[in-house]
Amino acid sequence: MYYIGIDIGTSSVKVLAIDEAGKIVKTVSREYPISYPFPLWSEQNPNDWWEQSKLALKDILEYIDKDKVKSIGFSGQMHGLVILDSEDNVIRPAILWNDQRTESECRFLNNDIGKDKLLSWTANIALNGFTAPKVLWVKQNEPDNFKKIAKICLPKDYIAYKLSGEFATDYSDASGTLYLDVKNKKWSDDMMKILDIDENKLPKLYDSFSAIGTIKKDIATELGLPTDVKIVIGGGDQAVAAVGGGIVENHHCSISLGTSGAVFATSDEFVMEDEGKLHVFCDARGKYHVMGVTLSAAASLKWYVEDFLKASSYDEVLTEVEKSDIKENVYYLPYLSGERTPHNDPDAKATFLGMTVRHERKDMTRALLEGVCYSLRDCYELMHEVGINPKEIIINGGGAKNDFWCQMLADVLHTKIKKLDINEGPALGAAILASVGDGKYSSVSNACQDIIKTTKEFTPDEVSSKIYSEKYKKYKSLYPMLKDFFSSL
């Protein structure tokens, strides 16, 4: 038997198949473009997701017995706005999670409606990336498009709808819309009134491991699959990456060191940070999680190596940083796309500080890696404030491939970090959820205990941790000093 996970990422779709023992059989990726039509805008064509998902599925089905595919699960980039008309046509390009156009809408929600009300209704405050401000933006700037809306989808839910014909979402992904009552797991009546949308325009809510239906007959025929293949709704990428990392018990913690960086911790009970600096979402196991996000984690390294340095290889740059001195006071603020946690400031800018004539490239590289770690520590410190104190962290994402960066993060957070034997994150989590939705496992926890293994540990070095703690204090002082300057640019 086979279970397939589909991860609708920002730059590509990844499709992964596991067998009944949980072993990865094959992984396939297909890229699609991102459009930046105006400053701060970030859009994609949902039909590109669909076409590339079908091609990736066809590729992966060449390697397995199609008749033994039991279910398909999903993970997806969160917060994206996909709007369909009454004939299920996409009305306009999807507005993505990293789009920053909604500053005035967020100001209206946070200031005019009020953060206290938003927190009581949804457990979160308005951020540029969230879906609700995007809905308001369309209403205010594209009224003709707003009038056409018959369905409002999130990215992965659009693909699930195309495969199954079921208009559905899950609690974890819905948590990032800012119109879900997270604590009570239902659409917020108050937020729907503010957005001027009816509940019939919103998908039905499910747990992430729920089968919402079976594959449509015409799609089954096109792909050569049985018509009884179950479609399991899955969840938002961070929640599903946590499943792919085995983060399924109370106060488990993971860090995703991907394009963006996320500190994710589970909680069996609903908890909330008073000022809304942490996201409080439902998780993929049917309970809750809190999460802090830095918008440019591995994206900072990619920009630095490819665009700024125009270096021939990452290895060249990352190898020399190991010879740099930890005591150098060069700092980097990783705000290439503004910042989310804890500042919620789209005007924040990436900045190098403290360089002198004697500093070299290796010192800048170290500062960049440290800056991302400090930004993640900002998130981690907030976890402690709500009573979550993990004993260890599971790390995933592309940045986790570099052991030096993993050790640095363990030292900065003063917490043991473990690396997975397989670093497939959301796609693997989606396949695991598919197996639970098919009944292979009785719970997400049982599935992960059977499938997920760790290989390498990074234990904090006490001397380095003390040095980083002192440098972190200096790092924390920089944003308050530069905030007004950023906003004036």
DSSP string spanning 415-478? SEEEEESS--HHHHHHHHHHHHHTTSSSSHHHHHHHH--EEEEEPPPHHHHHHHHHHHHHHHHH
CA distance 383 to 278: 8
Question: 314-321 vs 403-413: helix axis angle to the nearest 10?
Answer: 40
Residue 243 backbone dihedrals phi, psi, to 5 degrees:
-65, -45
Q: What is residue 28's predicted lDDT score, i.e. its pLDDT?
A: 97
Q: What is the largest CA-CA distance in the chain?
A: 67
CA distances in angstroms from 453 to 206, 358, 423, listed in the order given? 28, 44, 10
- The pLDDT value recorded for residue 26 is 95
Q: CA nearest 13: which of 70, 71, 77, 62?
A: 77
The predicted pLDDT at position 420 comes to 81
Distance between CA atoms of residues 471 and 329, nearest Å: 8
Q: Do 370 and 408 contact (CB within 8 A), yes or no?
A: yes
Helix residue ranges, H only, 23-154: 46-61, 103-107, 115-122, 131-141, 143-148
Of the candidates 237, 283, 363, 378, the residue annotated as catalytic is 237
> Where does residue 478 rank: exposed (0-12), middle (13-18), buried (19+ CB within 10 A)?
middle
* pLDDT for the residue 442: 93
- pLDDT, tens only, 142-201: 999 999 999 999 999 999 999 999 999 999 999 999 999 999 999 999 999 999 999 999
CA geometry: angle at 78 spanning 77 and 82, to 5°? 90
- What pLDDT shows up at residue 208? 98
CA gap 341, 78 in Å, rounded: 16
* Nearest residue to 7 via CA among 259, 294, 204, 189: 259
If DSSP codes are grouped into helix, strand and coil, which group holds residue 229?
coil
Q: String of b and e for 209-221 (b: at least 16 CB within 10 Å)?
A: bbbbebbbeebbe
- Alpha-carbon span 258 to 237, nearest angstrom: 11
Q: What is the pLDDT of residue 210?
A: 98
Tokens for 463, please give them.
Answer: 């001397």
- Given this model, what pLDDT does residue 274 score? 85
Cβ 76 vs Cβ 172: under 8 Å? no
Are 4 and 17 spatial neighbours (Cβ–Cβ below 8 Å)? yes
**How much is the CA Rg of the chain, to the nearest whole Å?**
22
Count of CB atoms situated within 10 Å of the CB of 270: 14
Question: For residues 2 and 23, what is the distance between their CA atoms, to the nearest angstrom?
Answer: 10
Burial of 269 (0-12, 13-18, 19+ CB in 10 A): exposed
CA atoms 439, 444, 449, 452: torsion sign: positive
Active site residue 237: yes
List the chain residues with pLDDT less than 50.
none
pTM value is 0.86
Sheet holding 279-282, edge to edge: 279-282, 288-294, 261-267, 253-257, 392-396, 416-420, 454-458
